[in-house]
Amino acid sequence: MKAYVLISETFLRKTSLRLVHLGWLLAYPLIFLMPSLPETWQWGGLVFAWSGCLLPLILSAGIFGDDIASGRIRLVATEPIRLSELYIYRFLGLSLQAAAHLLAVGALILLLHWLTGRGSLDRFAAWMLASWLIFNTWAALSTSLSVVVSRDHNSMTLVLATIILFFPLYMLLLFFEDSVGTKIYHAFVRYGCPPVEVLVGLGQGRYSLPGGVASVAHSLALTVLYGAAGIVLLNNREFKYAAD
């Protein structure tokens, strides 16, 4: 019962989030209507970028920051629930939203492709798995950041941090691709940050079966690591009753 209440609260905490889901879904039929859509257009890659990478940043905005800033977290923390449980159930609420959203997206794209034949569904199931995995990784990182960043600024902070990390990598790969420092930095971004590059490889079918399993395990391990960091931060925060 406790898990159901907390997960449901994550689903229903803002009316605007339901509008976000609707808007994200409506984007797909609008793209189907584009007159210049190439035949090689990969629907799986679009789902990965649009719903896998961008959607979790919107859904997780202020997931803890709003409650901490308003003082409501003190009311939740005094109930018979551990803060670690609160974090886990909030994250599961996001992950289940992703699963429901991606199922709806998958059904919609399959229907539209059946009706129009536009674009490509090559390795669509692998792309959907990669999209759910990357959603969970971004959501865990953003949720943990929400513990220490005020209100709903965690998502924008994460976007800025990603730009700050990836822009130097782009420049290094452009001008100093064979440098040892570039290779070390690339490895850090590839394996320590949300594994966008690794999971794109999964969606594109670059790996053998063991490599694919390793990429899934890597993504899950990062999700657990980011979540564990968030739980530690949440357990060590001091909360105020009054709003900030």
pLDDT tens digits for range 90-107: 999 999 999 999 999 999
- Token pair 């308003």 is found at 70
Report yes or no: 201 and 114 within 8 Å, Cβ to Cβ. no
Q: Which amino acid is at 67?
A: D
- Per-residue pLDDT reduced to its tens digit, 48-90: 999 999 999 999 988 887 777 766 777 666 666 788 888 998 9
Instruction: Out of 38-42, 163-167, 210-214, pick the least confident.
Output: 38-42
Does the pTM surpass 0.95? The reply is no
Question: Which helix or strand (DSSP H or E) is residue 46 part of?
Answer: helix 43-47
Q: What is the pLDDT of residue 239?
A: 63
Phi and psi torsions of 79, nearest 5°: -75, 165
CB-based contact 82:166 (threshold 8 Å)? no
Token digits of residue 123: 């390795």
